[in-house]
């Protein structure tokens, strides 16, 4: 029988860690299939010794399958226990809050203590107040009893799986495949019984997931369909498991496509398609290398090989539990193979710096930061005419903005609580972020734009973020921040708060277009302060660029308009390097 004091100390995070480690062990064992196949008798070997060797090999296969089935069964039980403990901890928190609000305390033993009875109760209300408090006490006692019953059930279910594995009572099923033993038939059937959401929207996906039984959710964690990883509104840990499981299939599919293109020679028309496939394969490698960084743990939240380029999003930290979550969208020339690892490093630095800012402000809390390349920004091989017509238009930003809006919504919909969510957009990514925010319903609490050529509007109210919670950073010698290419120059939009990029007691100055996340700078400090929800610790200040200075002499702009347009057309190739 578990005690209330023991249940209070239960930690679902520890179970999630065990769940992850068991998954690694299972995958290591399944990965021995090739070695196991290579140890089979050669066809030319016959006789008594060969028969005995074949029997020993078959026994080894059966033992390996039994071990894998046991690891998988325990892992599934740990997943169920983690979900159960998370719910129990939430119940405890709610009961504690209710007790405190009414002047009671739940003791370590699970008793109810009246620590703050009401004072100066009118004599004619004493009995009524007494009966009311007895009702509250009885209600709290019933909640404690329900918590202990659920804890007992959770403990027994996990113990049952552990005992079955210890006594070799787990059935690995039929067949010789090691992978087949990793997902028992019962798990497959339970996962299949969950069905699919009625529609692919953050709200529908979240409601579907929350409607499933504990057994169905645990089975889907163990046997996730590929589509589960792409659904906004599904918990980050579940998306991560599904996307990781889909990496090998994605690579295999791209390799098959490459082989078909190369078969019999590559025509001129197929050259571009082959380049896209090769770039996607490089991007898959970049994703795998990035998520291998596990201190702190990563979560793979997007893996999409459709379109011309592969899309991905990787979180540093746990998006399901973090108090503060940021989502950074990159700009022009960004790709998964060329940009993800660098953005991931910036996210790791931002998490650490944000947690430092929380501590400096005397606050507790955890932080997760997401590098989101969930769209296809324009690339260098596309023509860039700064002032004239250009294929570097708002189209990619608008399409990406719709995806980013759904991604924001999914973070909030997947959770029972409301995290502090910060949207960060750099360069053309700030335009994408602007369109995402204009979609509304996003739940973004703070928005930060860096070196922005525009956010798709001249009215800050269109972004639908709380008043006073939109921030702008512009570095010295950053010409992109003055392009006013997409909706006007944010430097002159009412409502944005200017944060400094210059030297301060909190860090050094940044210059140019690409150093806003650089460690130990005022710019990074300010980003961290906003992400941590302590913007009062940021350093305010505005840096005027060349475009801002010109804006103060409109007659000169009018007189030199044609020269500026000519300059814009001729400077395209140079600006490309600034963007990247």
* Residue 424, φ and ψ in degrees, nearest 5: -125, 130
In a domain, 144, yes or no: yes
Q: What is the model's pLDDT at position 387?
A: 39
In a domain, 189, yes or no: no
Q: What is the model's pLDDT at position 390?
A: 41
CB neighbours of residue 2 within 10 Å? 13
Q: What is the model's pLDDT at position 183?
A: 81
In a domain, 281, yes or no: no
- Paired sense of beta strands 497-498 and 470-473, if any: parallel
**DSSP-assigned letter for residue 539:** P
Domain span including residue 359: 301-579
* Domain co-membership, 342 together with 488: yes
- Paired sense of beta strands 367-373 and 311-316, if any: antiparallel
Which tokens sit at 346? 């910036």
- Cα separation of 147 and 151, whole Å? 6
* Contact status, residue 57 vs residue 41, Cβ threshold 8 Å: yes
Looking at the DSSP assignment, which residues form a beta bridge with residue 508?
521
Q: What is the model's pLDDT at position 485?
A: 66
Residue with token string 């490089």 = 282
* Contact status, residue 324 vs residue 305, Cβ threshold 8 Å: no
Domain boundary among 120, 155, 182: 182
* Contact status, residue 457 vs residue 433, Cβ threshold 8 Å: no
The count of domains in the chain is 2
Q: Kindly tell me the number of DSSP H helices and DSSP E strands found in the chain.
A: 19, 10
* Residue 505, φ and ψ in degrees, nearest 5: -65, -15
For the chain, residues with pLDDT lower than 70 are 381-394, 481-485, 487-489, 545-580
Which tokens sit at 530? 């906003």
Torsion 188-189-193-195 (CA) sign: positive
Q: What is the model's pLDDT at position 319?
A: 97
In a domain, 431, yes or no: yes
The predicted-structure confidence for 112-154, as pLDDT tens digits, reads as follows 999 999 999 999 999 999 999 999 999 999 999 999 999 999 9
Name the region of 520 (left: φ>0; alpha: ψ -120 to 50; beta: rest): left
Which tokens sit at 398? 């608008």
In a domain, 240, yes or no: no
Domain boundary among 158, 182, 206: 182
In a domain, 8, yes or no: yes
Helix (H) or strand (E) holding 298, with range, is strand 298-304
Domain boundary among 182, 210, 226: 182
Cβ neighbors of 313 (< 8 A, separation 6 or more) are: 300, 301, 302, 370, 371, 372, 373, 374, 407
Q: What is the model's pLDDT at position 482?
A: 62
pTM of the model: 0.81
Which tokens sit at 102? 């009414």
* Domain co-membership, 518 together with 372: yes
| Alpha-carbon Rg for the chain in angstroms | 29
The predicted-structure confidence for 357-412, as pLDDT tens digits, reads as follows 999 999 999 999 999 999 999 987 654 444 333 435 568 899 999 999 999 999 99
CATH of the domain at 481: 3.40.50.1820
Q: Is 504 helix (H, G, I), strand (E, B) or coil?
A: strand
In a domain, 188, yes or no: no
In a domain, 383, yes or no: yes
Q: What is the model's pLDDT at position 391?
A: 36
């Amino acid at each position: 029988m578990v005690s209330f004091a023991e249940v209070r100390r239960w930690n679902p995070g520890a179970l999630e860690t065990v769940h992850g480690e068991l998954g690694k062990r299972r995958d290591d064992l399944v990965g021995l299939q090739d070695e196991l196949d290579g140890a089979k008798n050669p066809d030319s070997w016959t006789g008594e010794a060969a028969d005995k060797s074949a029997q020993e090999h078959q026994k080894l296969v059966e033992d390996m399958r039994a071990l894998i089935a046991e690891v998988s069964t325990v892992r599934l039980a740990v997943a169920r226990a983690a979900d159960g403990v998370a719910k129990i901890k939430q119940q405890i928190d709610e009961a504690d809050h209710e007790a405190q609000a009414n002047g009671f305390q739940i003791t370590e033993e699970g008793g109810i203590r009246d620590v703050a009875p009401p004072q100066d109760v009118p004599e004619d209300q004493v009995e009524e107040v007494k009966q009311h408090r007895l009702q509250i006490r009885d209600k709290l006692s019933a909640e404690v009893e329900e918590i202990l019953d659920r804890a007992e059930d959770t403990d027994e279910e996990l113990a049952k799986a552990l005992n079955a594995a210890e006594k070799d009572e787990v059935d690995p099923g039929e067949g010789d495949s090691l992978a087949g033993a990793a997902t028992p038939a019962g798990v497959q059937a339970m996962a299949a019984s969950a069905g699919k959401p009625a529609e692919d929207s953050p709200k529908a996906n979240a409601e579907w997931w929350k409607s499933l039984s504990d057994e169905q959710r645990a089975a889907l964690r163990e046997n996730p369909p590929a589509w589960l990883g792409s659904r906004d509104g599904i918990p980050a840990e579940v998306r991560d498991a599904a996307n990781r499981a889909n990496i090998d299939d994605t690579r295999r599919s791209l390799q098959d496509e490459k082989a078909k293109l190369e078969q019999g020679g590559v025509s001129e028309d197929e050259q571009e398609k082959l380049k896209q496939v090769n770039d996607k394969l490089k991007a898959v490698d970049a994703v795998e290398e990035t998520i291998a960084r596990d201190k702190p743990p990563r979560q793979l939240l997007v893996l999409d090989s459709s379109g011309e380029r592969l899309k991905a999003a990787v979180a540093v930290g746990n998006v399901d539990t973090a108090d503060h979550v940021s989502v950074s969208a990159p700009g022009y020339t960004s790709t998964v193979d060329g940009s993800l690892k660098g953005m991931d490093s910036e996210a790791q630095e931002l998490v650490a710096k944000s947690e430092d800012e929380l501590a400096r402000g005397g606050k507790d809390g955890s932080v997760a930061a997401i590098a989101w390349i969930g769209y296809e920004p324009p690339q260098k091989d596309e023509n860039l005419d700064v002032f004239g017509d250009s294929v570097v238009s708002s189209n990619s930003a608008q399409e990406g903005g719709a995806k980013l809006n759904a991604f924001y919504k999914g973070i909030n919909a997947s959770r029972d609580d409301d995290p502090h969510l910060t949207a960060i957009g750099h360069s053309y990514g700030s335009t994408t972020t602007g369109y995402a925010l204009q979609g509304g319903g996003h739940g973004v609490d703070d928005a930060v734009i860096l070196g922005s050529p525009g956010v798709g509007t001249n009215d800050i109210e269109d972004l639908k973020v709380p008043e006073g919670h939109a921030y702008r950073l512009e570095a010295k010698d950053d010409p992109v921040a003055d392009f006013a290419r997409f909706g006007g120059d944010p430097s002159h939009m009412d409502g944005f708060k200017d944060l400094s990029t210059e030297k301060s007691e909190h860090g050094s100055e940044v210059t140019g277009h690409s150093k806003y996340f650089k460690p130990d700078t005022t710019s990074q400090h300010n980003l961290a302060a906003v992400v941590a929800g302590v913007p009062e610790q940021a350093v305010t200040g505005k840096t005027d660029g060349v475009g801002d200075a010109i804006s103060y002499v409109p007659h000169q702009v009018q007189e030199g308009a044609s020269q500026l347009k000519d300059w814009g057309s001729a400077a395209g190739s140079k600006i490309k390097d600034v963007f990247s």
